[in-house]
C-alpha cells in the first residue's frame, strides 16, 4: 500500500520559509534531483549522482540557472553510508561549479542569520567552505550548457503558445473520441 508523505520535514519547512524571506528575488526549489541541475558528458559519471537530491537550490529568478545548493544536515549525516553519499554529492557540485553550503540543522532559524551566512557566498564575496575529501576531478558540467537559448516572450507570444497548446489538446481529444466511435 502507498501513502503520501510531506515533501519536507517540519525543520526543513521552517528553514525554507526563512530562506524565501531572506532571498525574495530568487527562486528556491526543494528536494531537487541533482540530475536536473548537473549534466555530464561521461555516461559512467551519471551513476555517481542520478539518485541524489539537493535539499534547497537557489536559482536565478529569470533563467532558473542554479546559483547555489544548500544542504540541511541533521544527525543522519553522521552515519558512514550517508557521509560517503555526501562526499560524492560535494564532488559533483564542486566539479559543476555550483557552490554548496552545508547548514547544520537546529531547532530554530532566523531570516537574518540565514541571509548573513548565505548572501556573501551567493554574491561571490566569499567562497563556500572547501568541499571535504575531494579525490577525483571528472568533467561534470553545470546546466544549462548555453545561456543564450533562453528567450523572453512577449505577452502576445505567450498567448499564441498557449492557444496552440490548447488547440493541440482539443485535437487529441477529438481523435480519441472518434477512435472510440468507429
pLDDT of residue 149: 40
Q: Which residue's C-alpha cell is 537550490? A: 57
Find which of 42-46, 103-107, 115-119, 139-143 is predicted with most confidence, using mean pLDDT.
115-119
**What is the rounded distance in angstroms from the CA atom of residue 103 to the CA atom of residue 101?**
6
**pLDDT higher than 60, residue 20:** yes
Query: Could you tell me the three cell numbers for 2?
Result: 502507498
Show me where the domains of the chain are located.
10-149, 151-182
**pLDDT higher than 70, residue 135:** no
Q: How confident is the model at residue 172 (pLDDT cuts 50, 70, 90)?
A: confident
**What is the rounded distance in angstroms from the CA atom of residue 15 to the CA atom of residue 21?**
10
Q: Closest Cα partner for 35 from 24, 27, 25, 43? A: 43
Q: Which residue's C-alpha cell is 558512514? A: 80
The total number of residues shown for the chain amounts to: 182
Instruction: Count Cα neighbours of 66 within 13 Å in the Cβ-side half-sphere.
Output: 29
What is the DSSP pairing of strand 100-104 with strand 66-73? parallel
Rounded alpha-carbon distances, angstroms, from residue 144 to 36, 52, 66, 74, 79: 10, 19, 9, 31, 33
* pLDDT per position as a tens digit, 48-104: 677 889 999 999 999 999 999 999 988 777 777 778 888 888 888 988 899 999 988
Of the chain, the percentage scoring pLDDT greater than 70 comes to 76
In DSSP notation, the chain reads ------SS-HHHHHHHHHHHHH-TTEEEEEEEEHHHHEEES-HHHHTTTTT-EEEEEEEETTT--EEEEEEEE-GGGGSHHHHHHHHHHHHHHHHTT--EEEEEP-S---HHHHHHHHHHHHTTSSPPPPPTT------EEESPS-GGG-----HHHHHHHHHHHHHHHHHHHHHHHHHHH-
Amino acid at each position: 500500500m502507498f501513502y503520501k508523505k510531506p515533501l519536507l520535514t517540519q525543520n526543513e519547512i521552517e528553514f525554507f520559509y526563512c530562506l524565501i524571506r531572506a532571498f525574495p528575488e530568487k527562486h528556491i526549489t526543494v528536494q531537487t534531483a541533482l540530475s536536473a541541475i548537473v549534466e555530464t558528458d561521461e555516461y559512467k559519471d551519471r551513476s555517481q549522482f542520478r539518485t541524489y537530491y539537493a535539499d534547497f537550490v537557489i536559482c536565478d529568478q529569470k533563467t532558473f540557472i542554479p546559483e547555489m545548493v544548500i544542504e540541511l544536515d541533521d544527525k543522519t549525516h553522521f552515519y558512514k553510508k550517508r557521509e560517503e553519499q555526501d562526499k560524492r554529492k560535494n564532488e559533483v557540485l564542486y566539479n559543476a561549479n555550483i557552490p554548496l553550503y552545508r547548514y547544520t540543522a537546529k531547532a530554530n532559524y532566523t531570516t537574518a542569520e540565514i541571509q548573513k551566512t548565505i548572501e556573501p557566498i551567493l554574491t561571490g564575496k566569499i567562497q563556500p567552505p572547501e568541499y571535504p575529501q575531494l579525490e577525483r576531478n571528472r568533467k561534470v558540467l553545470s546546466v544549462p550548457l548555453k545561456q543564450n537559448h533562453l528567450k523572453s516572450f512577449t505577452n502576445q507570444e505567450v498567448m499564441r503558445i498557449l492557444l496552440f497548446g490548447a488547440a493541440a489538446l482539443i485535437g487529441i481529444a477529438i481523435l480519441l473520441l472518434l477512435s472510440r466511435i468507429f
